[in-house]
């Protein structure tokens, strides 16, 4: 019978010919220079202010944050966040390491931290959301499913193609942001040490497990985590595109879920069961940097487990529905 | 229901047995049974919403029947789609292909989904549907007729033994329709079974050998087109004067029955040309000269005599008791 490879080739061909991947590259090529420029202005300003002495700058940040701790107008959660931040900055200062050493690699690292929650998932959705619903919107699903191929094979070929493009997108984000920001900040910085392993309990940071890793290694770890997040987002978007007939509806459903996630992350620290929702668990790279999790009790392992369960359930639902459902129109 | 026996004859390619489909609480399809044999053009006739497309979707495993079985070349379509569907080429509703690919890329795409289709075969079907001039253009630039031809090319790729065409003449101009008809006849001549659905009675009558008539999810009749038509005696319309005397004369004549106006199941297009006082009779056409001379002899003026060939339309109206066809 028909094996999977030609089917996967078909699906990849369709994704490329639909120009979805080009659009994603275009978005990156347009947006990354904007972020790079913004970052450049920030570093220029601080250079003027602190005469290029990063120790002064960090010291100033520590003092600013400590001052704000005495204010009554700041909510308790924010104070916790700032206390942790102060301790981490102090650690960098004590070890004479500049956490913001300007370079293309540092920019990429920070850009990845900031884009894992919303930006990269949006790029993933551009491919994943119309993989099945797109075929239903145009009616080509009828042609696809009346060939002598089992339905699960058709769906699996789509899934494999999707995972390949997800990997490609994550890789493109890293490479494009490095190449473009490098023009401004230089292409060096792979061996700059970055501290990781901050253990946060309450508002104190346990420094005993902190260790320095070269920035290239840190970037690799980030990349792995972002790939994992992207795969789970892709699986969820894939399921929605199986369940919903129109691509527009499919995108809206996923967007709403993702945006709800960022809103919840900012306000749900009191509602602890929210930590089982996939959308508050997307910030995996925060665990590497030592950013406190949005909800008490979340750890890297916990978040990865939650995401894995959501991803697995999505796959099961996708296949169960797709292989059984009547194609009525 | 009329069901003919398959005594010997060519092998059955498609067998549909007691198929029913329930959606929600409603039986959308209620007992559909028919066979399609090798080399035969089989018409599937019914008004819009009768269940034609739902039935076709069941034939190609897009919809699972609630009850009954569909067998293609001995394989159950729902249980062994991989085996059964390799004998089937189909266009369900419109020929929907990928508009962002070229015609050739579309065919390559579908060729990868079935065994034994190589480049030479793709070139061959392109040739058959005469798309070779434009095959490397994007489908988004194709006219509807060209997309239809690409759809047929796609259906023919795997050398199917059963070709399913759903309302194939939709959107085609009269020349295209004529070409399609000749094309389908040629395929059937080569031994392919062709299943054609239509809401156009004339289309089925011109094209098909046998027909199943479906209305409201039920197959009302299955049979040879000519057999079904022959079951209806021809109508003869008379415009005679004086009316009452003529009606009495006709009524007395052996072998002629005069229909009261409300029992006339004729298409409006036919009756529109009739004078207000026409008399509708059911009779053999061989009787006409005899009756005309009788009328003339009795001093009745014969203004016009119309013989109306029996059509599926009549049969259909009779079977569905006046449900409209649109």
Q: Which of B82, B96, B112 comes nearest A142 by C-beta? A: B96
Range name among A142-146, A268-272, B197-201 with the lowest pLDDT average: A268-272
pLDDT category, A23, cuts 50, 70, 90? very high
Round to whole Å and give the CA distance between A143 and B224: 31
The token duo for B255 is 């072998």
CA-nearest residue of chain A to B64? A326
DSSP string, A184-229: HH-S--TT-EEEE-PEEETTEEE-TT-EEEEHHHHHHHHHHHHHHH
A2, A19, A140: residue with CB nearest B98: A140
Other residues' Cβ atoms within 10 Å of the Cβ of residue A30: 9
The pTM score is: 0.86
Per-residue pLDDT, averaged over A247-274, amounts to: 86
State chain A's mean pLDDT as an integer.
89
Please say whether the dihedral angle defined by the alpha carbons of residues B293, B299, B304 and B306, taken in this order, is positive or negative.
negative
CB spacing of B96 vs A138 below 8 angstroms: yes
State the greatest distance between any 2 C-alpha atoms of chain A, in Å, as a whole number: 72
Nearest one of B227, B228, B226, B199 to B214, comparing CA atoms: B199
For residue B186, how many other CB atoms are within 10 A of its CB? 11
B100 touches chain A (CB under 8 A): yes
Q: Does B136 touch chain A (CB under 8 A)?
A: no
Closest CB to A150 among B54, B82, B94: B82
Chain B neighbors of A1, CB-CB under 8 A? 82, 115
| Radius of gyration for the alpha carbons in chain A, expressed in angstroms and rounded | 22
User: What mean pLDDT do residues A60-67 have?
Assistant: 87
**What's the whole-number average pLDDT of chain B?**
86
CB contact under 8 A, B100 and A140: no
Nearest to B101 among A17, A139, A142 (CB): A17
Answer whether residue B5 shows pLDDT above 50: no
B81 has a chain A CB within 8 A of its CB: yes
pLDDT in tens, A197-231: 888 777 777 888 888 889 999 999 999 999 999 99
**Range in A71-80, A209-218, B169-178 the model is least confident about:** A71-80
Question: What is the ipTM score, two decimals?
Answer: 0.85
Nearest CA in chain B to A138: B96
B94/A139 touch (CB, cutoff 8 Å), yes or no: yes
Instruction: Tell me how many degrees the CA angle A33-A263-A69 measures, rounded to the nearest 5.
Output: 90
Cα–Cα distance for residue pair B214/B32, rounded to 1 Å: 8
Write out pLDDT tens, residues B72-119. Answer: 999 999 999 999 999 999 999 888 899 999 999 999 999 999 988 999
Return the closest-CA partner of residue A13 out of A138, A170, A157, A175: A157
Mean pLDDT is lowest, of A223-232, A302-311, B177-186, B201-210, for B201-210
Our measurement of the distance from residue B54's CA atom to the centroid of its chain's CA atoms, rounded to an integer in Å, reads 16
User: Closest approach of chain A CAs to the CA of B113, in angstroms?
Assistant: 6
B92 touches chain A (CB under 8 A): yes
pLDDT at residue A291, rounded to an integer:
83
- Residues on chain A bordering chain B, Cβ-to-Cβ distance under 8 angstroms: 1-2, 6-7, 9-10, 13-14, 17-19, 138-140, 142-151, 324, 326-328
B157 and B114 Cβ atoms separated by less than 8 Å: yes
pLDDT for B13-27, tens place per residue?
999 999 999 988 999
Alpha helices for B222-267 (secondary structure H): 225-230, 243-252
- Predicted pLDDT at B3: 42
């Amino acid at each position: 019978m028909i094996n999977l490879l030609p089917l996967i080739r078909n699906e990849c061909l369709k994704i490329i010919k639909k120009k979805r991947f080009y659009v994603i590259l275009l978005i990156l090529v347009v947006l990354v220079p904007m972020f790079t420029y913004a970052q450049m202005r920030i570093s220029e300003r601080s250079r003027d202010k602190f005469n290029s002495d990063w120790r002064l700058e960090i010291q100033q940040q520590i003092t600013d944050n400590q001052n704000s701790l005495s204010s009554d107008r700041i909510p308790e959660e924010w104070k916790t966040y700032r206390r942790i931040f102060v301790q981490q900055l102090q650690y960098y200062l004590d070890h004479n390491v500049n956490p913001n050493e300007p370079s293309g690699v540092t920019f990429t690292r920070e850009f990845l931290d900031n884009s894992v929650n919303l930006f990269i998932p949006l790029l993933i959705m551009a491919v994943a959301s119309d993989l099945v619903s797109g075929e239903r919107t145009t009616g080509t699903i009828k042609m696809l499913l009346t060939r002598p191929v089992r339905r699960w094979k058709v769906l699996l070929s789509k899934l494999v193609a999707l995972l390949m493009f997800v990997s490609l997108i994550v890789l493109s984000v890293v490479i494009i942001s490095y190449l473009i920001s490098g023009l401004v900040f230089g292409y060096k910085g792979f061996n700059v040490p970055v501290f990781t392993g901050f253990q946060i309990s309450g508002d104190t940071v346990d420094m005993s497990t902190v260790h320095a890793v070269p920035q290239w290694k840190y970037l690799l770890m980030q990349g792995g985590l972002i790939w994992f997040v992207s795969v789970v987002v892709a699986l969820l978007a894939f399921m929605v595109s199986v369940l919903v007939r129109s691509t527009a509806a499919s995108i809206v459903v996923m967007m709403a879920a993702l945006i709800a996630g960022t809103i919840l992350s900012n306000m749900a620290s009191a509602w602890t069961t929210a930590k089982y929702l996939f959308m508050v668990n997307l910030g995996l790279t925060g665990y590497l940097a030592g950013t406190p999790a949005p909800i008490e009790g979340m750890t890297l392992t916990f978040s990865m487990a939650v995401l894995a369960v959501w991803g697995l359930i999505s796959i099961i639902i996708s296949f169960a529905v797709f292989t059984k459902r009547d194609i009525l129109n | 229901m009329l069901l003919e026996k398959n005594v010997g004859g060519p092998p059955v390619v498609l067998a549909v047995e007691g198929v029913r489909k329930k959606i929600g609480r409603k039986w959308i399809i209620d007992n559909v049974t028919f066979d399609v044999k090798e080399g035969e053009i089989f018409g599937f006739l019914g008004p819009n919403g009768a269940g034609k497309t739902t039935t076709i979707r069941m034939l190609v495993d897009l919809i699972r029947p609630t009850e009954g079985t569909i067998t293609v070349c001995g394989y159950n379509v729902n249980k062994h789609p991989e085996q059964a569907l390799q004998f089937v080429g189909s266009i369900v509703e419109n020929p929907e292909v990928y508009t962002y690919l070229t015609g050739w890329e579309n065919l390559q795409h579908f060729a990868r989904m079935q065994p034994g289709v190589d480049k030479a075969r793709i070139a061959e079907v392109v040739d058959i549907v005469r798309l070779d001039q434009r095959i490397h253009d994007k489908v988004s630039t194709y006219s509807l007729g060209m997309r239809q031809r690409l759809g047929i090319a796609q259906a023919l790729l795997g050398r199917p033994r059963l070709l399913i065409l759903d309302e194939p003449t939709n959107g085609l101009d009269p020349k295209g329709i004529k070409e399609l008809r000749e094309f389908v006849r040629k395929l059937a001549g080569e031994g392919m079974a062709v299943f054609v659905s239509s809401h156009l009675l004339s289309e089925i009558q011109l094209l098909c050998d046998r027909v199943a008539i479906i209305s409201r999810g039920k197959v009302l009749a299955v049979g040879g087109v000519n057999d079904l038509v022959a079951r209806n005696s021809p109508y003869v319309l008379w415009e005679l004067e004086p009316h009452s005397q003529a009606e009495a004369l006709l009524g007395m004549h052996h072998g002629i029955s005069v229909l009261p106006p409300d029992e006339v199941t004729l298409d409006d297009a036919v009756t529109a040309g009739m004078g207000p006082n026409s008399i509708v009779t059911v009779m053999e056409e061989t009787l006409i000269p005899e009756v005309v001379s009788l009328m003339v002899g009795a001093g009745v003026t014969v203004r016009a005599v119309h013989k109306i060939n029996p059509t599926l339309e009549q049969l259909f109206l009779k079977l569905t008791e006046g449900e409209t066809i649109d």
